[in-house]
Structure 1
Amino acid sequence: MLTRTPPDSPMLFEEVPLVPDFSLELTARKAGHWPVAGTDEAGRGPLAGPVVAAAVILDPDNIPDGLNDSKQLTAAQRENLFEAILATAEVSIAASGPRHIDERNILRASLDAMRRAVAGLSLTPAYVLTDGRDVPLGLCCPGKAVIRGDARSVSIAAASIIAKVTRDRMMARAHHVFPAYGFANHAGYGTPQHRAGIDTHGPCLLHRMSFRPLKKDGVLAEE
């Protein structure tokens, strides 16, 4: 069973700070859990492409400036922070592809990618902070789900940046293989351009056939 934050949990009603900090990591450290990893994913909503997860263990003495939820940053800021995180932190990346998503559903595929990202860290964490309501099963250590974690924890924020930039780069490369869909412009999200490409050419290998508005036969469903 999934470890899920109850809907009436005080966590859901806490005032979320505008800028993430290191307080959750320090709380875990005081409890004897160190090092602490943050994990997050990118790409749960698109109609095509993988969901990408990252796990990051920051050096508390060398945390890059400007870490925040990847959605609050410009593409240029994300790219700069991506390089800064890689240069100063332990980082691992994993992905679940479209067929995995179709077979297991997007939630399970996302959590599985997070679990594999944590397992791939060269430094074994003693505690994991996960963005969202669920802690992946099979972690090597205890974990905590943090609602809006990328706005509360710099470790999760760093993971969100790594996952987002990695996935955007993957979809930009996919554009050269499947140019008819415009993946470089929308990263697989259901934009008018993307839907028009599916209408005209049908789905490709990167499409998630279990997602609306895609049908199993690859034709757009009626709205």
Structure 2
Amino acid sequence: MLDFEKNFNCPVAGVDEVGRGPLAGPVVAAAVILDKNNLPAGIRDSKKISKNKREIIAEKIRLNSHYAYGEASVEEIDNLNILQASLLAMKRAIESLKIVPSMSLIDGIYTPKVDLTCKPIVKGDSKSISIAAASILAKVYRDKIMTNLADKYPEYSFEKNAGYGTKEHLLALKSHGITPIHRKSFKPIYNILN
């Protein structure tokens, strides 16, 4: 997974986002510059790691890297669209890094508009260790946001579904209606409103 990073003798940031598909909550991106001489074990695509293991690896990444987060709010998702909001979250993450990378490796086919070279990598979270690290940090960070929102909106079980349109979440929407953190531009929510 170091194939992309080993070609550079300069700081390279891996960037990934999470939260494109949920019906509620922000989209979150992380940008990570790993220390190539001190790589935590177990870094791979966040979707292939259990929640407990992901949290342990995330802590090791935070201790051995430079990283930053970026978010796009529900309002930004509804006003821009989910793709543009995801790119905005990535831009915010990259621009929040304390060390300016020479290049960013971006998961996917689109890149954010930033003042540095960005290389898109399809399925980057399974090909680049930096992107995989970013996917882990972004997932853990967003899950924490959704767990906190579950305290405010307990009927929707955000601590379990992270805002995704599970059967339980859809039933809660029918029973309790939408909240301010639901994405009004997403079809199931839009249909409830109209």
Q: Does 1:124 align with 2:104?
A: no
Equivalent residue, structure 2, for 1:14: none
Equivalent residue, structure 1, for 2:63: 87
Kindly provide the amino acid, as one letter, of the partner of residue 139 in structure 2.
K
Q: Structure 1 regions of 5+ residues with no counterpart?
A: 1-20
State how far apart, in whole Å, the 2-side matches of 1:120 and 1:208 are.
25
Q: Structure 2 regions of 5+ residues with no counterpart?
A: none
Q: CA RMSD in A?
A: 1.0
Could you state the TM-score of these two structures normalised by the residue count of structure 1?
0.85
Deviation at 1:91, TM superposition (A): 0.6
Q: Does 1:113 align with 2:89?
A: yes
Structure 1 stretches of at least 4 aligned residues deviating more than 4 Å after TM superposition: none
State how far apart, in whole Å, the 1-side matches of 2:90 and 2:190 are.
28
State how far apart, in whole Å, the 1-side matches of 2:183 and 2:115 are.
30
Match of 2:49 among 43, 48, 73: 73
Q: How does 1:182-201 map to 2 (within 5 A)?
A: 182-201=157-176
Contact 1:210 1:216 in 2 (8 A): no
Q: Does 1:171 align with 2:158?
A: no
Contact 1:52 1:113 in 2 (8 A): yes
Equivalent residue, structure 2, for 1:6: none
Deviation at 1:122, TM superposition (A): 0.5
Q: Does 1:25 align with 2:25?
A: no
| Percent identity of paired positions between Structure 1 and Structure 2 | 44
The structure number with the bigger radius of gyration is 1
Number of corresponding residues: 194
Kindly provide the amino acid, as one letter, of the partner of residue 52 in structure 2.
A
Q: Does 1:47 align with 2:27?
A: no
**Higher relative helix content:** 2
Equivalent residue, structure 2, for 1:162: 137
Equivalent residue, structure 2, for 1:36: 12
Contact 1:48 1:98 in 2 (8 A): yes
Could you state the TM-score of these two structures normalised by the residue count of structure 2?
0.97
- Per-residue displacement from partner, 1:7-26 (whole Å, max 9, x unpaired)? xxxxxxxxxxxxxx111012
Deviation at 1:135, TM superposition (A): 1.0
- Per-residue displacement from partner, 1:153-193 (whole Å, max 9, x unpaired)? 00000000000000001100100001111111100000011
